[in-house]
Amino acid sequence: LSESGVPQLVQPMIWDYAADLDVEGKVHLVEKYRRCGFSKMWFASAFKGATGVNQSLTLIGHHLKNHLQWLKVASSSPPDVLEGIALTGWQRYDHFSVLCELLPVAIPSLAVCLQALENGGYSEKTKENVEKLLGMSNLETETFMR
């Protein structure tokens, strides 16, 4: 790869939507890409639409845990390697599938995930900030929002 010149033309994106993302494995993958000549790379997470083809509600906790794992990968990788994190929001699994998790029901998840990334973690203060931003009295992350 390094001899091909590709690392000077593209930046790889490492995707994983799992709540229990393998941090050590991802750090190892980052190191492998670096040895191949890629100086910058992206991570890809999801704030909705990655937990089931017919999911209609967003389980915020799943996506929050995924983002917290990506933060661990970022902090365990060289400081200059991460170009950014793409927060994907899948609408359907393929063109023949029904729509899953429409954007309005996933906005709280998007807000939680963005705040977790911006603050480098998630705390009671972060939760209160999201509740204030969205005008909510009780943000639920481990159960479906009512």
Q: Where are the domains of the chain?
A: 6-134
| CA dihedral of residues 74, 78, 79, 82 (deg, nearest 10) | -60
Compute the average pLDDT of residues 26-42: 96
pLDDT of residue 78: 94
2-11, 23-32, 99-108, range with greatest mean pLDDT:
23-32
Distances (CA, A) of 145 to 34, 37, 93, 106, 140: 41, 44, 23, 10, 6
pLDDT of residue 145: 57
Alpha-carbon distance 59 to 113, whole Å? 12
* pTM for the predicted model, two decimal places: 0.91
Find the range with the poorest average confidence among 7-16, 45-54, 67-76, 104-113. Answer: 45-54
pLDDT reading at 95 higher than 70: yes
